Amino acid sequence: MHNELKTSRVEALCDGIFAIAMTLLIAGFNDMLNWPKSLNETELRSLIFQMLPDLAYYVQSFIILGAFWIEHHHQFHYIKHTNLTLLLISLLAFMFVALVPFSTLIVGDYGHTRIAAILFEANLLCAGLFFYIHWVYAANKPGMTDRALDIKTIKFYNRKNLVIPIVSVIAIVTSLVNPQVGSSIYFTVPIIIVLQRVG
């Protein structure tokens, strides 16, 4: 029925969800809520240094969310109309995006366990797959993009949208052996994205 819904609403919802998810990542610093109020310089410094792994996960998740957001931005550079199917795919992607602060918090606190690492990576895998499906559906459905896209552009973004899913699969497999190495593989994502830009 509605193949002609405007895209501004889903773009606004997307921007809102990413803005909140990115900002809620600071929930990963929840440890500090249990700190006693009277700490001297040395005690506070040592507690803050213990939070460095949380900071690393904050940076990593922020970068991954940023990468998803840029993907979505690029997709809607081409997509000019949306429909119920595309909205439902978007919502499924957002459902996993909104889980990222939670899975980051878990992996930040229990990063030495396989279950925490794999939970985090499976979360990103699912989000990434729905963004990929979103692109494949929109790029191939007539009427969604302004004009028919050339095969080269479609394939370029097919590859781009597969970066996070593929990295996630590698991370999950690696985490079975070594969880901490596994979940730090995502630091390659921005490098791959920047390299792809040239390629």
Q: Are 131 and 93 in contact (CB under 8 A)?
A: yes
The residue from 53, 114, 187, 192 that contacts its own copies (CB under 8 A) is 114
Nearest to 186 by CA among 3, 13, 64, 90: 64
- Residue 195 contacts its own copies per CB under 8 A: no
Is 119 a residue that touches its own copies (CB under 8 A)? Answer: yes
157: nearest Cα among 62, 87, 64, 78? 78
Q: Position 139: which residue type?
A: A
Residue indicated by tokens 């809102």: 16
| Cβ atoms of residues 121 and 165 within 8 Å | no
> Which residue, 115 or 173, has its beta carbon nearer to its own copies?
115
Minimum CB separation of residue 183 from its own copies in Å reads 15
CB of 120 to its own copies, least distance (A): 12
Under the binding rule (CB under 8 A), the answer on residue 141 touching its own copies is: no
Q: Which of residues 29-48 bind its own copies (CB under 8 A)?
A: 29-33, 35, 37, 39-41, 44-45, 48
| 125 lies in the site for its own copies, by CB under 8 A | no
* From 3, 53, 56, 62, residue interacting with its own copies (rule: CB under 8 A): 62
DSSP, collapsed to helix, strand or coil, labels residue 120 as helix
Interaction between residue 66 and its own copies (CB under 8 A): yes
Phi, psi of 5 (to 5 degrees): -65, 140
Check: CB of residue 35 under 8 Å from CB of residue 45. no
End-to-end, the C-alpha distance of the chain in Å comes to 39
Measured from the CB atom, the residue of 90 and 168 that comes closer to its own copies is 90
Q: Is the dihedral of CA 169, 161, 131, 62 positive or negative?
A: positive
Residue numbers at the binding site for its own copies (CB under 8 A): 1-2, 5-6, 9-13, 15-26, 29-33, 35, 37, 39-41, 44-45, 48, 58-59, 62-63, 66, 69-70, 73-74, 76-77, 84, 87-88, 91, 94-95, 98-99, 101-102, 105-106, 109-110, 113-116, 119, 190, 193-194, 197
